[in-house]
């Protein structure tokens, strides 16, 4: 076995990830795959197996329409989760994470948005917390001058090609991870050539190690990253994030079902558009009793459709304009698939002309919210773990000061005057507290999400708001 060996589960799920990601990207990505998503309609010649295309197939794929329901659904779900700013608290000494969490300028909130998109598409993503390498023996002042900072590096599902867990001291720990990366191999300043390399993370008996491989050969020595106090890690600071939970097993991609129906809808579209092209135009059929010379004499310009000229067809001649009757079978199949996508969770394509109430919409999308709620919960938990690892790398005491919570209220909660007065009555009877009312007003958007109850009390002074 070589370092590029893939985990059996990886090989099983990789085609699903590719298909779903292509469906999200849209028409260009889907049509570039050609036969993978749109089979040749008449394959008796074996053109598909040869990898070649007939003129008919090029026209067939060009006329096909791919409507990106999958991508629009993903955007709607991410927008619902981030319609409010995440609630986060990070120690002051790690405030740089809010502007640059990944080491390449991506903020913590932007990182969360990107990885929620990845979770929707593949049901899996991962983070590695790492610290830039530096010469040994540097003083604290020298480290500060170099501006060395720990970062949270995201890895997509396709990049985590192999992993292994073992039970150690009563805990199931990750003991090996192989990450597929690319490094720059440019020949000049204008070149963008990259080559593959593999980062291998191992948990040895004496600590966590990392090593690089290129072309299946070790490229670097196996090194031991250390914490700020110089001690070695007793776990790999690598966190899986899944659609169901955050263990090493692969979860199903939430958008995979919609993507499959979306691609089937695309195939129906190709058949429908070709049918319209082939039989949609009326065809003229003519019978006549004229000789060739008579025909040319009476119709020197040939036959043209329209009413601006007349034509002589002879004593027994006739002309008939034939047009195919509408065939709605393929169109009905397309409509059926659109309804299926709505049922699966593609709320962005629902009919908005009805009089559905807001509460009815919440009930109808309850299962969708449950899936999205699991995703944002898992992602929030994983990012909190990673921020704590950053603190260990940086030597920052956290004292439970780390919090990162993505919004899980995907719809506006209405607050009417009657509800507010009822809550004030409950407050007056000591059944609820001020914080309960304040949190409800924040969730409804009545109060700025960035304001706290302490800020309001300070501005209010000693005045009693109930008088």
Per-residue pLDDT, 8: 94
What is this structure's pTM? Answer: 0.77
Per-residue pLDDT, 32: 92
Judge whether 290 and 317 are in contact, CB under 8 Å: yes
Judge whether 249 and 240 are in contact, CB under 8 Å: no
322, 346, 372 — which closes off a domain?
322
Per-residue pLDDT, 433: 83
Residue 294 lies in a domain: yes
Residue 464 lies in a domain: yes
Residue 93 lies in a domain: no
Helix (H) or strand (E) holding 441: helix 434-443
290, 322, 354 — which closes off a domain?
322
Residue 456 lies in a domain: yes
DSSP state of 187: S
| H-state helical runs in 410-452 | 417-428, 434-443
Strand partners, 256: none
Instruction: Name residue, tokens 């008796």.
Output: 44
Sorted by sequence, the CB contacts under 8 Å of residue 72 that are 6+ apart come out as 346, 348, 349
Torsion of CA 101, 103, 105, 108, to 10 degrees: -10
Instruction: Name residue, tokens 């558009």.
Output: 273
Residue 41 lies in a domain: no
Distances (CA, A) of 409 to 326, 357, 377, 444: 47, 18, 12, 10
List of the chain residues with pLDDT < 70: 42-53, 134-146, 278-283, 306-309, 311, 321-331, 333-334, 337, 340, 342-369, 411-416, 444-445, 449, 460-467
Count up the domains in the chain and report the number. 2
Residue 44 lies in a domain: no
Residue 302 lies in a domain: yes
Q: Is 264 exposed, middle or buried (0-12, 13-18, 19+ CB in 10 A)?
A: middle
The whole domain housing 291 covers: 282-322
Residue 301 lies in a domain: yes
Per-residue pLDDT, 349: 38
List pLDDT tens digits, range 229-246: 889 999 999 999 999 999
The closest of 137, 46, 153 to 100, measured between CA atoms, is 153
240: left (phi over 0), alpha (psi -120 to 50) or beta: beta
322, 352, 372 — which closes off a domain?
322
DSSP state of 431: S
Q: Is 118 exposed, middle or buried (0-12, 13-18, 19+ CB in 10 A)?
A: buried
Q: Is 34 exposed, middle or buried (0-12, 13-18, 19+ CB in 10 A)?
A: middle
């Amino acid at each position: 076995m070589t370092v590029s060996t893939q985990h059996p589960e990886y090989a099983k799920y990789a085609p699903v990830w590719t298909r779903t990601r292509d469906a999200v990207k849209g028409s260009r990505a889907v049509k570039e795959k050609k036969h993978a998503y749109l089979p040749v309609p008449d394959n008796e010649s074996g053109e598909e197996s040869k990898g070649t295309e007939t003129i008919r197939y090029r026209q067939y794929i060009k006329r096909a329409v791919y409507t990106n329901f999958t991508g629009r659904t993903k955007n709607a779900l991410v927008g619902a989760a981030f319609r409010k700013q995440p609630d986060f608290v990070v120690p002051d000494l790690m405030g740089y994470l809010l502007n640059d969490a990944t080491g390449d300028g991506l903020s913590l909130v932007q990182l969360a948005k990107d990885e929620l998109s990845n979770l929707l598409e593949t049901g899996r993503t991962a983070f590695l917390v790492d610290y830039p390498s530096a010469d040994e023996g540097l003083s604290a002042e020298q480290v500060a001058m170099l501006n060395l900072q720990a970062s949270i590096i995201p890895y997509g599902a396709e990049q985590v090609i192999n992993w292994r867990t073992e039970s150690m001291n009563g805990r199931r720990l990750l003991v090996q991870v192989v990450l597929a990366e690319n490094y720059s191999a440019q020949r000049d300043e204008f070149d963008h050539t990259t080559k593959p390399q593999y980062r291998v993370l191992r948990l040895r008996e004496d600590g966590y190690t990392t090593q690089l491989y290129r072309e299946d050969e070790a490229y670097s020595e196996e090194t031991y990253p250390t914490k700020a106090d110089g001690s070695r890690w007793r776990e790999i600071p690598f966190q899986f994030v899944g659609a169901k939970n955050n263990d090493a097993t692969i979860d199903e991609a939430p958008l995979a079902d919609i993507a499959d129906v979306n691609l089937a809808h695309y195939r129906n579209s190709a058949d429908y558009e070709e049918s319209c092209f082939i039989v949609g135009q009326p065809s003229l059929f003519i019978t006549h009793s004229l000789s060739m010379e008579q025909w040319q004499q009476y119709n020197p310009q040939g036959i043209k459709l329209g009413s601006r000229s007349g034509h002589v067809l002879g004593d027994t001649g006739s002309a008939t304009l034939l047009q195919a009757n509408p065939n709605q079978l393929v169109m009905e199949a397309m409509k059926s698939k659109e309804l299926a996508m709505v049922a699966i969770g593609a709320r962005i394509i629902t009919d908005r002309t009805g009089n559905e109430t807001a509460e009815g919409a919440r009930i109808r999308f309850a299962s969708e919210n449950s899936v999205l709620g699991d995703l944002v919960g898992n992602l929030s938990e994983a990012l909190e773990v990673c921020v704590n690892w950053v603190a260990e790398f940086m030597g920052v005491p956290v004292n439970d000061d780390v919090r990162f919570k993505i919004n899980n209220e995907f719809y506006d909660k209405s607050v009417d005057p009657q509800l507010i007065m009822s809550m004030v009555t409950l407050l007056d009877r000591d059944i609820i507290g001020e914080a309960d009312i304040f949190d409800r007003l924040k969730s409804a958007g009545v109060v700025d999400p960035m304001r706290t109850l302490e800020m309001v009390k300070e501005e209010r002074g000693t005045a009693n708001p109930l008088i």
